[in-house]
Structure 1
Amino acid sequence: MSEDQSKIPAMEVDTAFIKSKRGILKVAEMVTLLVAFVCFAVASTPKYIAATVLEFLITALLVLLYIFKLNKRLTFFFWPLIDVLNSVFAAVYFIILSLLAVSTYTVTGTLVGGIFGLISAGVLCVDSYLLFRNITLNRPRSETQNQETTTN
């Protein structure tokens, strides 16, 4: 039985990702989205609840993708670009959603959820900016690696 277990490939866990800038931003996104979700749930506003849960799940899946280094195995997608597009669209969506929640609130939970939605949109904007800066589109890889070492 021990021979069968030794043949199973071990899943790599990247604990350094959580301590990196991107990891901290992803965790901050998840925390602000969770707080906004709880506030919207207390206020019983289903249209805001659905949006925050969906973005929380997408962010959690991206974090798991990076922690378990699945982005290295699933190479049929360009994961940094997908992450940037998700962050940009989510930031725009949460700015609109949060401004609606803040301007039309009737319950304090909706107001607080809208404020945390705006904070989450700000974190999403920072995340998309940092990710977009690191994507190599037309630059040689060596030039990008030199730029990353000078900015870190």
Structure 2
Amino acid sequence: MESSDNTQGCVGQCTSFLRTPKGIVLALEIGLCIVILICYGASVRPGYTGLAIFEMVFSIAFFIVFTLGLNKQLAFVHWGWSDFLRAVIAALLFLITSLIVVIGHSDGPATAAGVFGLLAAILFAYDAYITFPSLRRSHTAAPTESPEGA
């Protein structure tokens, strides 16, 4: 009986996090990475799947951390900056990789993956954009008085 309460609690946490803007963005990132993987899998040259796998795994990890509230319990990592850097790096890498694929390949599924990659770059950039204000709020100014109090 106790395990069903824990399961309901976990499902409840997940659905409540999915209703937040951050939860929606992370779920869309995971879904878009899956679509990109499917397109690259159908392509003649599936050489660009590593980025989609890597970012999907990191998005799932951050989704779990934020859903379970581990970002408040594990304070040795600054989760806001980690999430911001993950999103910025993913946006840049998806932009570069997708432009290479769209410009250089005539394969239909690879071109579709490139277009979805450009959408992923926009989504990851938006994720960084909505994460940045929370980083500015969490910064506290250093005291300007001398330690002696004189």
Q: Same fold (TM over 0.5)?
A: yes
Runs of 4+, deviation exceeding 4 Å: none
Gaps of at least 5 residues in structure 1 are 141-152
State the identity as a percent.
25
Report the TM-score, using the length of structure 1 for normalisation: 0.80
Query: 1:119: which partner in 2?
Result: 119
Q: Which shows bigger deviation, 92-101 or 128-137? A: 128-137
User: What amino acid is aligned across from residue 62 of structure 1 in structure 2?
Assistant: F
Output aligned runs, 1:30-69, within 5 Å. 30-69=30-69
Contact 2:39–2:110, Cα closer than 8 Å, also in 1 = yes
Structure 1 residue 137: deviation in Å?
4.8
Query: 2:26: which partner in 1?
Result: 26
- The question of 1:72 aligning with 2:101 is answered no
Superposed CA RMSD in Å reads 2.1
Report the TM-score, using the length of structure 2 for normalisation: 0.81
Structure 1 residue 114: deviation in Å?
0.4
Deviations 1:94-121 (A, max 9, x none): 0000000101113101000000001011
Gaps of at least 5 residues in structure 2 are 142-150
CA spacing shift, 1:76–1:43, aligned 2, 3 Å? same
Query: How many residue pairs end up in the alignment?
Result: 134
CA spacing shift, 1:64–1:53, aligned 2, 3 Å? same
Query: 2:100: which partner in 1?
Result: 100
Give the number of the structure whose alpha-carbon radius of gyration is greater: 2
User: What amino acid is aligned across from residue 22 of structure 1 in structure 2?
Assistant: K
